[in-house]
């Protein structure tokens, strides 16, 4: 009952951001196909965004408007969109050449 009545603080946001980050890292490490790895990367970036917004909060620093964390998060969202577009183009090209998107089959990409 106490957890339902407790006030949400910046620490709660940091914990959720850390959980998202760790989940994304585990997803990147365990998935075999490229789509699963991309989902893991997106989870990592969303966890980092949540932490940026929490650290830029007006509750931690009273002399700021609190928009610096949100601006960094917006930049990360734009970066994630560009990364997803390029990665999906690479995955589609790889699928056209090998009829699979299994990252273990990418031996011909080694230099």
What's the confidence (pLDDT) of residue 79? 92
Dmax of the chain from CA atoms?
58
Cβ partners under 8 Å of residue 52, min gap 6: 69, 70, 72, 73, 76
13-101 topology per CATH: Helix Hairpins (1.10.287)
* The pLDDT of residue 75 is above 60: yes
Q: What is the pLDDT of residues 11-59, one digit of tens each?
A: 889 999 999 999 999 999 998 888 888 899 999 999 999 999 888 887 7
Q: Is the pLDDT of residue 110 over 60?
A: no
Burial of 51 (0-12, 13-18, 19+ CB in 10 A): buried
Comparing 42 with 107, which gets the higher pLDDT? 42
Give the span between the Cα atoms of 40 and 21, in whole angstroms.
Answer: 9
3-state secondary structure 37-88: HHHHHHHHHHHHHHHHHHHCCCCCCCCCCCCHHHHHHHHHHHHHHHHHHHHH
Please say whether the beta carbons of 25 and 44 come within 8 A.
yes
User: What is the pLDDT, as a whole number, of residue 17?
Assistant: 95
For 32, phi and psi rounded to 5 degrees? -100, -25
> What is the model's pLDDT at position 45?
94
Residue 67 reports pLDDT greater than 90 = no
Its pTM stands at 0.79
Structure tokens at 88: 């999906």
Rounded mean pLDDT of the chain?
85
pLDDT on residue 109: 58
């Amino acid at each position: 009952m106490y957890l339902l009545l407790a006030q949400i603080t910046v620490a709660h946001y940091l914990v959720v951001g850390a959980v998202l980050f760790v989940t994304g890292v585990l997803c990147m490490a365990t998935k075999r196909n490229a789509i699963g790895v991309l989902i893991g990367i997106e989870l990592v970036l969303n966890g980092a965004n949540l932490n940026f917004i929490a650290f830029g909060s007006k509750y931690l620093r009273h002399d700021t408007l609190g928009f610096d964390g949100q601006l960094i998060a917006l930049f990360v969202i734009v970066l994630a969109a560009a990364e997803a577009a390029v990665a999906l183009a690479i995955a589609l090209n790889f699928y056209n050449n090998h009829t699979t998107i299994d990252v273990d089959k990418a031996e011909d990409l080694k230099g």
